[in-house]
Structure 1
Amino acid sequence: LRNTEAAREAGARIVALVNVEASPLAQLADVVLPLGAGPERSVAATKSYLASLSALLQLTAVWRRADSGDGALADALPALPDAM
C-alpha cells in the first residue's frame, strides 16, 4: 500500500484490480476493477492472480484494437477460459 500511496501523492491515477472490493487497495484507488474470483480456499491468491492476468490481457486486447486496429488478440479471448 505504501507504493500506491506514494504514487497517489506524486499525482498518479490509481487503478486497482481487486478480488475484495472493500480492500485497503480499493479504498485508495480512483478506479476499481473487481475480479470476482471468489474466496481463496487453498493456495493464497491463486485465483485472484490468474483473474488479474486475464483482466490485463483483456485490457491489452481492447487497447491494441483501439490503437492499431489489430483485433487478433481480442478475437482469441473466447478461448482463454479453456486455455487456463
Structure 2
Amino acid sequence: MRFRWIRQTSRSACISAAITRVMLKDMNLEIALDISLPKYAVNPESLSQLEHKRLLKDLRLELKRVEENRRSCTGHRRMRG
C-alpha cells in the first residue's frame, strides 16, 4: 500500500507537532517525528526513506526558524510612552 497523508494539511501539521515535542519535551527529532507521524498518515509504515529524509530536513529548517524568531523577540523591550 502506498503512503498517504490523511488530509492535505497533514504534512505541515505533523511537522508542527514534532517541533512542539522537540521544544517542550526535549526529544530527539527522529523520535518526535516517529511519534507524530501515525496521527497524520494513513499508513506511516509505508513512508519511503527519501520522504523520511525530506521530513527531517524540513523539521530542522522549521526548528531553526522558530529558534531564530524566539531569540530575536526576547531581547527587545517595549518602550511605553
What range describes the TM-score normalised by the shorter chain of this pair? 0.3 to 0.5
What is the TM-score of this pair, normalised by structure 2?
Answer: 0.37
More helix by share: 2
Task: Name the larger-Rg structure.
Answer: 2
* More contact order relative to length (CA 8 Å, sep ≥ 6): 2
More strand by share: 1
What is the TM-score of this pair, normalised by structure 1?
Answer: 0.36
